[in-house]
């Protein structure tokens, strides 16, 4: 449960696909946002209530069913602001009509906590990561020692390569990664650990990345994913 003076992240592991659902708390107002509400609205609301929070917002990293199937059950309980990228709303075609649509670089607030939107396409066209202090909620863009697949409709491995390079090159190494699935040997690591051990962050040639992501990776690795040693030489 990462803590800073401004925010706290509560992590729930839910559903048959090892989803990691996050309840983000502003520690001043005790307002909360749930990121990628899926599988168990009751468990999410139990976390909110147990911690004395008021749920006000929903943040979507993307619109795949396994990340949104508790969206409407939660919206039926309270008036909640829904945030996603404009690119994802267009690709999805079923975003709530009152959703708040963001573009890359936008910042909005949960209470007094600023949340920065990074548009990270590749797994899907409108994928987003949310940067909160030194915490980065990555959805299916970046996993612990892995990354999202690109063979679903809208997937683009070249775009994913660019998104991962951007995270690697622009964020501090102390940034803590909070992925959308618990596919690794631990649920969360620093970006520095990923740069050192995640094979998807080692490529300098996008075409080599594409070949590895689309043709090689699933034949040679299986979960839970751990750090891979750097190639000799």
Q: Which helix (H) or strand (E) holds 145?
A: none
CATH of domain 7-218: 3.60.15.10
pLDDT for 76 equals: 94
Close Cβ partners of 210 (under 8 Å, ≥ 6 residues apart): 157, 158, 161
Beta bridge partners of 117: 130
The token pair that represents 187 in the structure block: 């649920």
Tokens 């409709």 belong to which residue?
Answer: 153
The token pair that represents 42 in the structure block: 């009751």
Question: Any idea where the domains of the chain sit in the sequence?
Answer: 7-218
In this prediction the pTM is: 0.96
DSSP 3-state percent helix, strand, coil across the chain (nearest 5):
30, 30, 40
pLDDT tens sequence across 88-128: 999 999 999 999 999 999 999 999 999 999 999 999 999 99
Beta bridge partners of 179: 139
pLDDT for 4 equals: 54
Nearest partner of 132 among 182, 79, 87, 176, judged by Cα: 176
Q: How far is CA 162 from CA 156, 171, 175, in A?
A: 10, 14, 19
Average pLDDT estimate for 53-65? 98
pLDDT for 108 equals: 98
Main-chain phi, psi angles of 122, to 5 degrees: 140, -60
pLDDT for 110 equals: 98
């Amino acid at each position: 449960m990462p803590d800073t003076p401004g925010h706290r992240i509560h992590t729930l592991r839910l559903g048959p696909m090892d989803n990691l659902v996050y309840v983000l708390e502003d520690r001043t107002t005790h307002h909360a946002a749930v990121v990628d509400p899926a599988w168990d609205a009751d468990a999410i609301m139990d976390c909110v209530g147990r911690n004395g929070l008021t749920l006000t917002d929903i943040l979507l990293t993307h619109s795949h069913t396994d990340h949104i199937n508790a969206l409407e059950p939660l919206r039926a309980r309270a008036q909640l602001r829904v945030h996603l990228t404009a690119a994802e709303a267009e690709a999805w075609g079923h975003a709530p009509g009152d959703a708040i649509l963001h573009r890359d670089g936008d910042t909005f607030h949960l209470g007094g906590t600023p949340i920065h939107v990074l548009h990270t396409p590749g797994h899907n066209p409108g994928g987003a990561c949310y940067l909160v202090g030194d915490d980065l909620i990555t959805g299916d863009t970046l996993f612990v020692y892995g990354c999202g697949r690109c063979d679903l409709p809208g997937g683009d491995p070249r775009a994913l390569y660019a998104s991962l390079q951007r995270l690697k090159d622009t964020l501090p190494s102390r940034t803590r990664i909070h992925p959308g699935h618990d596919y690794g040997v631990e649920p969360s690591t620093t970006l520095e650990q990923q740069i050192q051990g995640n094979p998807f962050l080692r490529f300098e040639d996008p075409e080599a990345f594409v070949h590895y992501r689309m043709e090689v990776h699933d034949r040679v690795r299986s979960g839970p994913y751990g750090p891979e040693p750097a190639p000799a030489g």
